Amino acid sequence: MRIVHIAAEFAPIAKAGGLGEVIVGLCRELNRSGHSVDVIIPKYGFISLNKNTKQSQFKCLANTHTMWSTEIEGCRLHLLEADCFNRGEIYGYEDDLPRFIYFSRAALDYLQLQNKPIDALHLHDWHAALCAPLIKDIFKDLPVRKVILSLHNIEYQGKCAAADLDAVGMKGETYLVKEKLQDDNPKFPKTVNLLKGGIVYADAIVPVSPSYAKEILTPEHGFNLDRTLRGVQGKIFGILNGIDTTLWNPAQDRALIVNYTVASALKGKELNRGHFHLDQRKRPWVGAVTRLVPQKGPELLEAALEKTVEMGGSFLLLGSSPIPKIQDHFNRLKERYRAHPQVFLQCSYDEALAHLIYASLDLLIVPSRFEPCGLTQLIAMRYGTIPVVRATGGLKDTVFEGQNGFSFSDATIPSMSGALERACRVFRSDPEAFQGLMQRGMNGDLGWRKPAQEYVKLYGWTR
Ligand code: ADP
């Protein structure tokens, strides 16, 4: 099959979180199983090109653009050059909406010029969702058999004015109806919702775990899209993400001080902990690697830190926040614990440090309010770190109390503290059972083989 992905991220060259990692993992596996894979992302200002990059010119509306194409991970990666993307970050700009609206249009203009049949056009999140209505409206002749939209997190929907669609040649006003792109919140009848456009017009919708696929149909987790989603239930297929088991491999990870395998995990963890200069006496090491946003339960993470210290454990947190109030709060927390012999806090985004933390912990705490899939619990298992998670979304589908981790049902301090207590009790009083959990996690099938097979089935599926 020929599969084309359109997305905002592709790791490691453009990664802001889980999205970029998921796309590269899936693409590599699709390629391995013999499919032809193209990926289109914007060329951000921080991406430098290698010598083997080919360029081609194409037109989008009144503009001429360069598309840079290179082979990476067995896929053809195409980078769209446009002034609005020539910046230091992927997201976080006031004009993010018009930027990604334009990106969606330009990606299709490029594919139109290539004019090669596409079996599956796979769109990711709101950044590319507009491609689905664009294909039905402007790019009717594009030889695409099937359009798939993956929902990595429906909290982010891309809401804009109808005029923003006019800018890429659509008649924005005509989309302001319930059955099309009008936002489902009745308070904003003049607002266009890009993600909704993808949901309405795509042939199949893929939330990134089976539990999340059910949760988003409810008002509690639907972020106002639940009604629309319930209306298209027949084309929703939850598929769990995998992790890149080459990138996340404690036996070969260059970011670690010492590599280890299942057999040497305990010793390996002990040696990697040296990096943090904390008290090295035997105690449970608990921690998290996370974006600090309300979804991830920042107040529960702080409570987990306090609870861990109270129980005599060590706590490591690597987290950064796009929300200044939360970032400031954790910076102050870092000051407060600066000299504490059991606490290490780092309020930044640091890829190498993340690897060392996964390798050093005994327990990873993930107290999310909702979690579409979650990668950190999977990465933790790969490193012999036992996840303690709130039972929601993909966390619920991957972590099972007493089998490979611990879980708690409510996003509250008592519920979370109870799970931490249970985990620490097993750590202290039953090392054999604890090691059994570690081994089961490390030996688990966490990669992309199975999820990619499910995607392939879906690409070939017809209604
Ligand atoms: P989300 O995509 O919602 O942030 P996921 O669990 O799906 O959450 O993916 C998070 C990814 O980002 C993981 O690979 C995790 O290691 C990484 N990550 C999150 N925060 C940081 C950080 N501060 N520094 C380095 N890596 C981080």
Q: What distance in angstroms lies between residue 456's CA and the mean position of ligand 1's atoms?
A: 26
Q: Whose CA is nearest to atom 14 of ligand 1?
A: 18
**Candidate from 150, 290, 296, 389 with most ligand 1 atoms within 8 A of CB, to mutate:** 290
d(CA 415, CA 36): 47
Q: What distance in angstroms lies between residue 145's CA and the mean position of ligand 1's atoms?
A: 33
What confidence score (pLDDT) does residue 462 get?
A: 60
Is residue 381 within 8 A of residue 303, CB to CB? The reply is no
Single-letter amino acid code for the residue at 380: A
How far apart, in Å, are the Cα atoms of 141 and each of 88, 111, 133, 156?
36, 11, 13, 30
Q: What distance in angstroms lies between residue 58's CA and the mean position of ligand 1's atoms?
A: 35
What confidence score (pLDDT) does residue 257 get?
A: 97
What confidence score (pLDDT) does residue 461 get?
A: 72
What confidence score (pLDDT) does residue 74 get?
A: 86
Task: Retrieve residue 112's tokens.
Answer: 């139109």
For 287-328, how does the pLDDT look when each residue is reduced to its tens digit (9 = 90+)? 999 999 999 999 999 999 999 999 999 999 999 999 999 999
Q: What distance in angstroms lies between residue 88's CA and the mean position of ligand 1's atoms?
A: 19
**Candidate from 253, 376, 378 with most ligand 1 atoms within 8 A of CB, to mutate:** 376
Q: Which residue has the higher pLDDT, 462 or 105?
A: 105
List, chain by chain if needed, residues with CB within 6 Å of any ligand 1 atom: 17-18, 21, 289-291, 318-320, 349-351, 354, 374-376, 379
What confidence score (pLDDT) does residue 73 get?
A: 83
Q: What distance in angstroms lies between residue 153's CA and the mean position of ligand 1's atoms?
A: 13
> Who's near 233: CB < 8 A, 6+ residues apart?
217
- Which ligand 1 atom is at minimum distance from the Cα of 354? 25
How far apart, in Å, are the Cα atoms of 428 and each of 264, 284, 341?
19, 8, 20
> Terminus-to-terminus CA distance in the chain, angstroms?
18
d(CA 131, CA 127): 9
pLDDT over 90 at 281, yes or no: no
Burial of 36 (C-beta count, 10 Å sphere; 0-12/13-18/19+): middle
Closest CA relative to residue 49, chosen from 89, 99, 13 = 13
Q: Given CA atoms 126, 132, 137, 142 in this order, what sign does their dihedral have?
A: positive
pTM of the model: 0.95
Adjacent-strand bridge partners of 79: 41, 68
Q: What distance in angstroms lies between residue 296's CA and the mean position of ligand 1's atoms?
A: 11
Is residue 406 within 8 A of residue 424, CB to CB? The reply is no
Is residue 164 within 8 A of residue 45, CB to CB? The reply is no
Q: Hunting for tokens 């449970």 — which residue is that?
A: 284
Is residue 207 within 8 A of residue 221, CB to CB? The reply is no
For 152-210, how does the pLDDT look when each residue is reduced to its tens digit (9 = 90+)? 999 999 999 999 999 999 999 999 999 999 999 999 999 999 999 999 999 999 999 99
